[in-house]
């Protein structure tokens, strides 16, 4: 089925979040080293970024490296960091050509200097683009982010800038790394895993979850279209009844 034709362009999710999973298993299935899976994964990043921009999605946020990923063998961590630098340096031109802005969320301070600088440079060079924002979550975890937000609000209370009772959902959201983005309406996770793995814990409160058994390197434009079509045909009730939604 051609899901692209079936997508309602007026009901697109404004923000899609993705957990790119299965690079390692994809490589293993082919008898290749895991790093080859990550290299193939980069091609999918490019493909899906362009497909989202083409459809009119405004924000795409990809889980590129979690705080837990430091526990992988040093060889793989180093390869991922190198791949990040290589990819960023190569892709900046293509991002600019497509008018896509790059951003990051996460604690960049722990990244190797070269990776952090490549990221900062790419952010700077794409800052004026406004067709879509691509955000890479790097050394990111949802609990880390929530704890950081709590710390910054506590400091404001201590400094006498706000009262504890001023803190509500809106103020809390504005203390998160995603303060200037809408919450994702759709979360996609590849590779058949059905966990959230510490990703955007606050922001995904009302998101629709879409899980596919495909490994990330095998995830094609048509699979993105199917995910969006499925999302559009689910009923989002935000705690209301179906009847209330018809009113
Ligand atoms: C999950 O597959 C993927 C990652 C931990 C990293 C994702 C990284 C990329 C797609 C490449 C780098 C990205 C950029 C933007 C430069 P896995 O290794 O957990 O796979 P497995 O579960 O099969 O082992």
Is 25 inside a domain boundary? yes
Global pTM reads 0.95
* Cα 37 to averaged position of ligand 1 atoms, centre (Å): 8
Q: What is the pLDDT of residue 140?
A: 96
How sure is the predictor about 235, in pLDDT bands with cuts at 50, 70 and 90? confident
The per-residue pLDDT of the chain, averaged, comes to 95
Is 175 inside a domain boundary? no
Q: What is the pLDDT of residues 179-219, one digit of tens each?
A: 999 999 999 999 999 999 999 999 999 999 999 999 999 99
Catalytic residue selected from 21, 23, 98, 223: 21
Is 247 inside a domain boundary? no
* Contact between 221 and 52 (Cβ < 8 Å): no
Is 4 inside a domain boundary? no
CB atoms within 10 A of CB 16: 26
The owner of tokens 């900062």 is 120
CA–CA dist 42, 82 (Å, integer): 12
Is 153 inside a domain boundary? no
CATH of the domain at 115: 3.40.1180.10
CA–CA dist 113, 241 (Å, integer): 51
Q: Could you list the residue range(s) of the whole structural domain that residue 52 is in?
A: 10-141+183-233
Is 177 inside a domain boundary? no
CA–CA dist 152, 145 (Å, integer): 11
Q: What is the DSSP letter of 196?
A: -
Is 163 inside a domain boundary? no
User: Do the bridges between strand 100-105 and strand 132-140 make them parallel or antiparallel, or are there none, so unpaired?
Assistant: parallel
Which SS3 state, helix, strand or coil, does residue 121 take? helix
Is 22 inside a domain boundary? yes
Structural domain count of the chain = 1
* Cα 23 to averaged position of ligand 1 atoms, centre (Å): 5
Give the residue, by CA position, lying nearest to ligand 1 atom 7.
64
């Amino acid at each position: 089925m051609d899901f692209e034709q079936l997508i309602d362009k007026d009901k697109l999710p404004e923000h899609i979040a993705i957990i790119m999973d299965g690079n390692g298993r994809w490589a293993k299935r082919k008898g290749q080293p895991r790093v080859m899976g990550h290299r193939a994964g980069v091609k999918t990043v490019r493909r899906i970024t362009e497909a989202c921009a083409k459809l009119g999605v405004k924000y795409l946020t990809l889980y590129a490296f979690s705080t837990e990923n430091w526990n992988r063998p040093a060889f793989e961590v180093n390869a991922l960091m190198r791949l990040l630098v290589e990819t960023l340096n190569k892709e900046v031109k293509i991002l600019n050509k497509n008018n896509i802005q790059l951003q990051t969320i996460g604690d960049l301070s722990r990244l190797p200097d070269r990776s952090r600088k490549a990221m900062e440079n790419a952010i700077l060079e794409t800052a004026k683009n406004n067709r879509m924002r691509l955000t890479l979550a790097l050394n990111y975890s949802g609990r880390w982010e929530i704890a950081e937000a709590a710390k910054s609000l506590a400091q404001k209370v201590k400094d006498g800038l706000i009262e504890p009772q001023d803190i509500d959902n809106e103020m809390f959201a504005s203390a998160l790394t995603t303060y200037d983005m809408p919450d994702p309406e759709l979360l996609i996770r590849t590779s058949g895993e059905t966990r959230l793995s510490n990703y955007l814990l606050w922001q995904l409160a009302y998101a629709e979850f879409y899980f596919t058994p495909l490994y990330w390197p095998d995830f094609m434009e048509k699979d993105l279209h199917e995910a969006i079509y499925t999302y559009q045909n689910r009923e989002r009730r935000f705690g209301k009844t179906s009847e209330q939604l018809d009113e």
